[in-house]
Structure 1
Amino acid sequence: MKETLPNVDSPEWVNAIKFNDDGLVPAIAQDATTGDILMMAWMNPEALTLTAQEGVAIYWSRSRGKLWRKGESSGHQQRVAEIRFDCDADVILLKVEQQGGIACHTGRRSCFYRKLVDGEWVTVDPVIKDPDAIYGKPEGES
C-alpha cells in the first residue's frame, strides 16, 4: 500500500470523515454555478486539509502516489467555493469554479462524457481542446 497518511497536522474537522482502508475518500467535483458533475478523484487527509486551507482542489494521485494539485500541468485549476460531505461521511463534494472550462484530461468539460444509450456507450460531449495541446505530446511522438 502506498503512503497516504498526512504530512501536515489535520484539523479536528477532518476526523469527521470516514477514510477507507487506504486512507482515502472519494471526492466529487461539481460546478458551483451549473451543478454539472465534472470529475471524481481521491483525497487523503492532507489533500482535504490543504484544499480547505488554499481554496483550490488538491487530490491524492493513486497512480503517482503523491498529492496532485488540479491544474498543475493543464492550468485548469479548480477554485473551491464550498466543501461538503455526505450523510455517511464517506464522500466529499467540492463545489468548484472550473478554470478554463476543462476538468477532464481528455480535453472535455467533464469526465462523464459517455452516456448509455440502447445498451451502448455513446460519447455525448465534445473535446474542447486537444489533450496534446494541453499537456504536450508524449516523449517519442512527433
Structure 2
Amino acid sequence: MFTQISTTKENKEIVSQLTRTLGLGTENVIARIALAYSLSKDRTLELSNIGNSTGKGYSKSVLFGEYYDYYLGLICVHYNLYKTDKDLPKYIKMHIDDGLQLLNEEINERSNIDGFDFLVEKIESGLQMII
C-alpha cells in the first residue's frame, strides 16, 4: 500500500515540540495520538486540502508497528473505503497533520498539563459521551 508518510514542513517542528512537552514517548507515538485525535473529531477531510510532504517522514512499520491493521481499519470505516483504496495513505497523512495541529493548539492553551493527564482527560470525556 505505502511505505512512507510525511507530515507537512510546519508539523515537523510541532511533532518534536509535542513529544518533548507531553513526554508520552517518541515522535511516532505522538503521530499515532494525533491521527486518533483527529478522527475522534468525527470530521471528514477533503483530499483537495492535503498539505505538503516535506516534514517528518515515518515508515509504515515505525508509524504503526504491529497495529497497522487497526489504524487502517479506523480510516477505512471513517471514509467507507476498502483497505486497498489508493487514497488511504493520503487520508492517514491528512489526519496526522490535522491531529498535530489540533493537539498543538490545545496544549498551547494549557501550559501546565502533562501528557498523562491530557490523555486521561480525553479518555474520560470520551467515555462520558457513550454513557
Q: Decide: shared fold, TM above 0.5.
A: no
More strand by share: 1
Structure number with higher relative contact order (C-alpha < 8 Å, ≥ 6 residues apart): 2
More helix by share: 2
Q: TM-score, with normalisation over the residues of structure 2?
A: 0.28
